[in-house]
A and B are shown apart, each in its own frame.
Chain A
């Protein structure tokens, strides 16, 4: 029988925050563009398209501006872009580690289903390590400063983000099903399926960025 601890409130808060700030790119015209133009700058400091997460953290009145950590000016923007590169490099590293953890979790789960119950002691820690790694990795992208430019249109990065919605959903549903299967054994097949779909979508999203 699988034994997985119930998700903590802080984890749920992180999940909700991630949902609220999502990676979908909604078109938000930045007020910064007008202020930059008024200041006589050659081009706006922020791209014309900001995701909700970027607007929340890095918009003209975003959190990082409000606390004075990164005022919206040319010098600070240069530092932001260096921070963005660091965060996205760590996002890539986190992706590899998370995928390894995800595959190990799926393997342990499959071994348990196959009747090898000695894997039960590994499955819980592996599953929650995967959850922690996943949301840490996701937050490195979601909360990174906005890029220099963002053009509309379909590309491999859009495929990466579309698949992110699939594995993001999977990373909410799969652990929740994991907490339920102790009482409802018949849900095990759904937990197994969502686990595999999530792993496949996650690996696919990583491959997508290489095109």
Chain B
């Protein structure tokens, strides 16, 4: 009986300590985007050149997701508008936006991810739902969440003396391979 318990404990320990499998974002395919609404138009800024690392553990819930993006690489298709956005987020002072997960919990049709988002030099907790699709060679993680520019101390950009909405939607479509 004791031997059986020892074996069982050993198996559990082996499972728990099984190394997480590291996946890196496939650049060019993965996209990180923001959506910002102004009464005259909706702005979509897309970044296809960012770092993302997913440490996928066998039990999934202890997995880690880390994302780091250069704010200068978000492109709305209008250089002048991008420059204005960079001024608002003080890109020279705070050149990167990062996310690091702190908890992943299974829920209907995916997982609830919680973590810390650092933007404009300020870190705030965020949580969102992701829908992962896993194949033998790669994983795809899609999702989106909203933040408030004011929560991160960012002054809302304006055009024709009208400011954008405070809400900024962050969307991601990550393709990651080992």
Contacts and interface: CB of A to CB of B under 8 A. Distances in A.
A92 interface: yes
A78 B91 CA distance: 10
Interface stretch (B6-14, B82-90, B117-125): B82-90
Nearest to B90: A78
B163 to A, nearest CB: 12
A109 B104 CA distance: 70
A151 B75 contact: yes
Given A149-B79, A157-B78, A210-B160, A43 B87 contact: no
Contact of A157 (B41, B79, B160): B79
Given A148-B72, A149-B72, A211-B41, A157 B92 contact: no
A78 B78 CA distance: 22
A155 B80 contact: yes
Interface string A71-87: 00010011001101100
A158 B33 CA distance: 23
B93 interface: yes
Contact of A148 (B41, B75, B87, B159): B87
Chain B interface size band reads 20 to 34
Given A78-B92, A85-B87, A210-B41, A147 B159 contact: no
B95 to A, nearest CB: 6
Contacts of B95: 42-43
Chain A interface size band reads 20 to 34
A209 B86 contact: no
B161 A147 contact: no
A41 to B, nearest CB: 9
Contacts of A77: 92
A78 B159 CA distance: 21
Contacts of A42: 95
B53 interface: no
Given A78-B93, A148-B92, A210-B41, A157 B81 contact: yes
B160 A151 contact: no
A155 B159 contact: no
A209 B40 CA distance: 10
5 contacts: A89-B158, A93-B161, A147-B80, A150-B83, A209-B160
